[in-house]
Amino acid sequence: MRYQSTRGDIKKISGAQAIVSGLSSDGGLFVPESFPGISLKTVTELVRESYSSRAAFIMSLFLDDFSIEELSGYTNAAYNAEHQCGFDRGDTAPLHGTDRSTFFLELWHGPTCAFKDMALQVMPKLLTASLEKTGEKRDVCILVATSGDTGKAALEGFRNIHGTTIIVFYPHRGVSDVQKLQMVSQDGTNVNVIAVDGNFDDAQTGVKVIFNDEELRTKLSDSGYFLSSANSINWGRLVPQVAYYFSAYCDLIKYGKINIGEKINFCVPTGNFGNILAAYYAERMGLPINKLICASNRNDVLTQFINTGVYDKNRPFYTTVSPSMDILVSSNLERLLFELSDKDGKTVASYMSALAADGFYNVPEAAGAELKRIFASGQCSEEDTSKTIGDIFNRYGYLTDTHTAVAYKVLSDYRAITGDGTTAVVVSTASPFKFCESVLEALGLPHNSSGVELIDALSRATGVPVPAPLAELKSKSPRFCKLVATGGMKKAVLDFLGGR
Ligand SMILES: *Cc1c(COP(=O)(O)O)cnc(C)c1O
């Protein structure tokens, strides 16, 4: 399998090269030149496999420059409870059913209690192996802009990995107390965490500017470093995510909830469009999917795009109770645009320059048709997010976080509007204990504590046990307290690497 840029550079590279590079030199993202097909017979065979075998197999279809043994090594180490790191039970990505046709796919049993662990427990291994395969001798410096969960998951994934350093930038006031403490208390000798005075888009733009700074890259190269990304724009982040869509389907078959070949819906709480894009790729590979429902919070730029074909970021930015979805520029949408444009990079490049110049673009009707074929979308207000957490808990005794609640509400609305009762999987992206304050408030539970103390308060009030990695948090103290303006990000990178 070869990879190419979304913006027209026609050079084709290997999976390992795509993972090492992160971004293409024309500013585009790397995408597979085609989608490997998977037959229903193969899906049936995967039903008896463990999560890590399913994941290694799916990844092997995209990464044919890796052997299945290599990939199984990574997925076994990442996902199996018997191994020291990571996931808290044998069942890596379990389904929780609330009624006959509605299931939550819990993707937060990893070390940081958010779905990003699914990719970031594997991606560092893919990256270091890719460095070896491509003959890269320099150390890699990973730059991450995070809206909260990516930062911690990347820090955990890269912590103490030889030949790598990692710098995480997070928006000063855009993450929860728990997320912040998780990051600033990170241990490891190769890590750095910096607050940016701005929102997530400012941090992300700042990182992109650094990536495109040729002078800086040369300077770093002279001191033995090169820059790469662990954001979901890196192919190594996306490819492990395709696996859990197949795995969820296999589990529905395994437990007799659907028949092989039956189509299902997925509803995905969406921010940077990485998670739902992986679902789209799974569909293109042949996974029986009827609709992919894109769930937005109050920042509903994607919902508007799916409904109208117009992407317009000229709109207010809201800080919400589901901060990992507070995004105006959804990076991974570019990969979908590439498919919607019949893999014509020039068209994608023109959308991206219109977005940069005017803040909006619109896709022609033909592209809109493919969008409508497979995607549906909806938006959930702040008030409804809270109400939904309460409704699900009162009705089913099941506790969800704010992001997952957005998706559940959007699915309910979608079903009410369309009458489509297809078996649906709500992708559950974080443990409710990562967003304690909002969850307690949603349940109408008074609390007079703050920060990490709320974790115990939520557990006491609901009887739901705290995941181990979050229970440990209260004994941790902050290591990192630097705050920079967006203009100061470049200097922060130089200072950190220069001092090593
Ligand atoms: C990152 C994140 C999302 C959004 O995922 P994308 O791949 O950016 O669309 C949703 N929920 C949670 C909890 C997240 O951490």
Q: Which domains does the chain have, with CATH numbers?
A: 138-231+467-500 (3.40.50.1100), 240-433 (3.40.50.1100), 434-466 (no CATH)
**Most informative mutation of 104, 149, 267, 436 for ligand 1 (most atoms within 8 A of CB):** 149
Share of the chain above pLDDT 90, in %: 83
b/e burial code for range 170-207 (CB count within 10 A of at least 16 → b): bbbebbbbbbbbbbbbbeeebbbbbbbebbbbbbbbbb
Of residues 252 and 223, more confidence is placed in 252
The pLDDT score that the predictor gives to residue 492 is 95
Of residues 145 and 201, more confidence is placed in 145
Which residues are within 8 A (CB) of 229 and not within 5 positions of it... i.e. 6 or more apart? 22, 23, 142, 143, 144, 207, 211
If pLDDT is split at 50, 70 and 90, which confidence band does 204 have?
Answer: confident
- Condensed to tens digits (0 to 9), the pLDDT of residues 430-459 reads 999 999 999 999 999 987 777 888 999 999
Q: SS3 string of 57-80?
A: HHHHHHCCCCCHHHHHHHHHHHHC
pLDDT, average across residues 310-318: 95
The pLDDT score that the predictor gives to residue 90 is 58
CA 221–ligand 1 middle distance (angstroms): 32
If pLDDT is split at 50, 70 and 90, which confidence band does 401 have?
Answer: very high
Rounded Cα distance, 387 and 191, in Å: 39
Share of the chain above pLDDT 70, in %: 98
The pLDDT score that the predictor gives to residue 368 is 87
Known active-site residue 263: no
* CA-based nearest residue to 171, from 138, 198, 205: 198
Rounded Cα distance, 217 and 156, in Å: 25
- Dihedral class, residue 12 (left if φ above 0, else alpha if ψ from -120 to 50, else beta): beta
- Condensed to tens digits (0 to 9), the pLDDT of residues 247-280 reads 999 999 999 999 999 999 999 999 999 999 999 9
* CA-based nearest residue to 150, from 372, 331, 343, 417: 331
Is the beta carbon of 272 within 6 A of some atom in ligand 1?
yes
- Burial of 209 from C-beta contacts in 10 A (0-12 / 13-18 / 19+): middle
- 102-106/95-99 β-pairing: antiparallel
Q: Which atom of ligand 1 is nearest to the CA of 273?
A: 9
Is the beta carbon of 430 within 6 A of some atom in ligand 1?
yes
pLDDT, average across residues 196-221: 91
Q: Which atom of ligand 1 is nearest to the CA of 147?
A: 1
Is the beta carbon of 400 within 6 A of some atom in ligand 1?
no
Is the beta carbon of 269 within 6 A of some atom in ligand 1?
yes
Is the beta carbon of 232 within 6 A of some atom in ligand 1?
yes
Q: Is the pLDDT of residue 89 over 60?
A: no
Is the beta carbon of 151 within 6 A of some atom in ligand 1?
no
Q: Which atom of ligand 1 is nearest to the CA of 116?
A: 15
Question: Residue whose CA is closest, atom 2 of ligand 1?
Answer: 324
Question: Residue whose CA is closest, atom 1 of ligand 1?
Answer: 324
- Residue 204 tokens, joined: 């992300």
pLDDT, average across residues 330-337: 96
**Residue 481: C-alpha distances to residues 147, 320, 372, 487, 498 (Å):** 17, 24, 46, 18, 19
Which residues are within 8 A (CB) of 153 and not within 5 positions of it... i.e. 6 or more apart? 110, 111, 112, 114, 116, 117, 119, 120, 121
- Residue 307 tokens, joined: 């409904």
If pLDDT is split at 50, 70 and 90, which confidence band does 88 have?
Answer: low
CA 239–ligand 1 middle distance (angstroms): 15
- Burial of 490 from C-beta contacts in 10 A (0-12 / 13-18 / 19+): middle
**Most informative mutation of 146, 330, 377, 403 for ligand 1 (most atoms within 8 A of CB):** 403
Is the beta carbon of 274 within 6 A of some atom in ligand 1?
yes
Mean pLDDT for the chain overall: 93
Is the beta carbon of 291 within 6 A of some atom in ligand 1?
no
Is the beta carbon of 429 within 6 A of some atom in ligand 1?
yes
Q: Is the pLDDT of residue 84 over 50?
A: no
The pLDDT score that the predictor gives to residue 154 is 95
Q: Which atom of ligand 1 is nearest to the CA of 270?
A: 9
Question: Residue whose CA is closest, atom 15 of ligand 1?
Answer: 149
pLDDT, average across residues 377-404: 98
Q: Is the pLDDT of residue 83 over 70?
A: no
The pLDDT score that the predictor gives to residue 301 is 97
If pLDDT is split at 50, 70 and 90, which confidence band does 498 have?
Answer: confident
**Residue 352: C-alpha distances to residues 186, 295, 313, 363 (Å):** 35, 23, 12, 12
Rounded Cα distance, 283 and 476, in Å: 42
**Residue 176: C-alpha distances to residues 47, 148, 378, 394 (Å):** 38, 8, 24, 25
The pLDDT score that the predictor gives to residue 101 is 97
> Looking at 12, 116, 254, 434, which residue is catalytic?
116
pLDDT, average across residues 322-341: 93
